[in-house]
Amino acid sequence: MKRALIFCSIFLASSVSVNSAETAKEIITATWSKVDLQLALNNRLAEMPSPYLDNSHASGEGGTRSVAKAVVFSAVIPGTGQIYNGSILKSIFFLAVEVGTITGYIINQNRGGDLENLFEAFADQHWVELDYWQSVAFDSGLTQTDIAGLDMFTLRGILSGYERRKFSHFLPERKNQQYYENIGKYDQFNAGWDDGEAIRARDSENREQYTLMRKDTNDHFKRASNFAAAALFNHVLSALDAGWTAKRHNKEILKGSLEMQGRVYGAEVVPTLVLGLTW
């Protein structure tokens, strides 16, 4: 912080110097050096009320604040930039939002993970891949005799090319996210459900239950994503507010101060108006 002082010596008229003679006399007789005289005079003049002086914006009151620090603090942990600026209520608000969004994310993310494990276990129990490949074999023109004794892996090797040419979707070799999505979403996989009778229709109750389980899981994951987005927005908003508040504070203390000081020139004490500019 820098401060420039502009001294304006004024030989004050009677309204301003009512006590100036007495003040100067008291100070001169009570001090031992020019420096002591200067300090004592300044203290006395500071106690003298004057309707013409305004020290409400004395230079450096509260000090300037770093906009960069305020922004970084709140960008990392929302509310800390507000604490740096002295805005306690706003810091409580941003910190509360941060805790709430993180808590909401963790709860929904963990619940979604638990439900995902449940619906995958349900699918492994009620959806039979061999039955699906047998239905594809019949669709390709192979007979029961042709596929008799063939295991699931052999049928997959024979029919995977036909599946990709015939249908809009295919069954991944690994049980990944697409695997569990496809078997419940598309009718071509209906034959794999243990209570389904139609090959290309939707008549399995287990499939319907499975679909609802997946929807519940996805709803929790979606809510977790929303909480994560809200937390990110809270970081940005808190950082912007902290930077704006620090900048506004710095502008306010740029206002000049005007105060009376006594200056010793030679053997004389001269009342002086001092204009201070802080930036």
pLDDT in tens, 96-149: 999 999 999 999 999 999 999 999 999 999 999 999 999 999 999 998 888 988
Which token pair is 86? 């002295």
User: Is the separation of the CB atoms in 107 and 134 below 8 Å?
Assistant: no
Cα 112 to its chain centre, rounded Å, is 23
Which are the contacts of 236, defined by CB distance < 8 A and separation ≥ 6? 75
Report the chain's mean pLDDT, rounded to a whole number.
Answer: 81
- pLDDT given at position 278: 53
268 confidence band (pLDDT: 50, 70, 90): low
User: Is the separation of the CB atoms in 182 and 122 below 8 Å?
Assistant: no
- pLDDT given at position 114: 97
46 confidence band (pLDDT: 50, 70, 90): low
- pLDDT given at position 226: 98
| Res. 150: pLDDT tops 50 | yes
- Residue type at 75 in one-letter notation: A
Average of per-residue pLDDT across 57-72: 74
| Res. 17: pLDDT tops 80 | no
Distances in Å between the alpha carbon of 209 and those of 185, 206, 221? 12, 5, 19
User: Is the separation of the CB atoms in 75 and 205 below 8 Å?
Assistant: no
Task: Please give the angle made by the CA atoms of 208, 210 and 213, to the nearest 5 degrees.
Answer: 115
Task: Report how far residue 110's alpha carbon sits from residue 275's, in angstroms, rounded to the nearest whole number.
Answer: 63
Burial grade of 185 (CB within 10 A; 0-12, 13-18, 19 or more): middle
198 confidence band (pLDDT: 50, 70, 90): confident
- pLDDT given at position 82: 96
